[in-house]
Structure 1
Amino acid sequence: MTTGATPPLAPKRSRARTFLPLGIAVWLVLEIWLLTVVANATGALTVLALLVGGAVLGATVMKRAGRRAFQNLTTTFQQAQAAAQTGEVPSAAGKTGAEDRNGFLMLGGLLLMIPGLVSDAAGLLLLIPQVRSFLGRYAEKAVERRMTAAPPGSLQDAFQQARMRRPDGKVVQGEVVREDANQGPRRPDEPRPPLMP
Structure 2
Amino acid sequence: MTTGAPPPSARKRSRARSLAPLGIAAWLVLEVWLLILVAGAAGGFTVLALLVGGAVLGAAVIKRAGRRAFRTLTETLQQQQAGAVPAQDAGSTGNGFLMLGGVLLMIPGLLSDAAGLLLLLPPVRAWAGRYAERSLDRRVKAAVAGSFGDAFQQARMHRPDGKVVQGEVIRDDTARQSRPYGDDDPRPPLTR
TM (normalized to structure 2)?
0.71
Residue equivalent to 2:72: 72
Provide the residue aligned with 1:131 in structure 2: 124
**TM superposition shift of 1:5:** 6.6
Report the Cα distance in structure 2 between the residues aligned to 1:145 and 1:60, rounded to whole angstroms: 34
Give the 5 Å matches for 1:1-197: 7-83=7-83, 90-91=85-86, 93-96=87-90, 98-150=91-143, 151-153=145-147
Q: Kindly state the Cα deviation for residue 66 of structure 1 after the two structures are TM-superposed.
A: 0.5
CA–CA distance in structure 2, aligned partners of residues 73 and 48 of structure 1: 37
Q: CA deviation at 1:15?
A: 1.6
Q: Per-residue displacement from partner, 1:136-166 (whole Å, max 9, x unpaired)?
A: 01111111111112241469x89xxxxxxxx
Structure of larger gyration radius: 2
Give the structure with the higher percent helix. 2
Q: Quick one: distance in 1 between partners of 2:141 and 2:55?
A: 40
Number of aligned residues: 150
Equivalent-residue separation in structure 2 for 1:54 and 1:32 (angstroms):
16
- Give the 3 Å change call, closer, same or farther, for CA 145–117 of structure 1 in structure 2: same
For each residue in 1:94-139, what CA deviation from the matched residue of structure 2 results, as whole angstroms up to 9, or x when unmatched?
Answer: 421x411100000000000000000000000000011001110111
Give the SS at the match of 1:67. Answer: helix
Q: Which runs of 5+ in 2 are unaligned?
A: 153-192
CA RMSD of aligned residues (A): 2.4
| Residue 7 of structure 1: how far off its partner (Å) | 4.0
CA distance in 1, matches of 2:53, 2:122: 21
Query: Which residue in 2 is equivalent to 1:184?
Result: none
Q: Distance in 2 between matches of 1:7 and 1:65?
A: 52
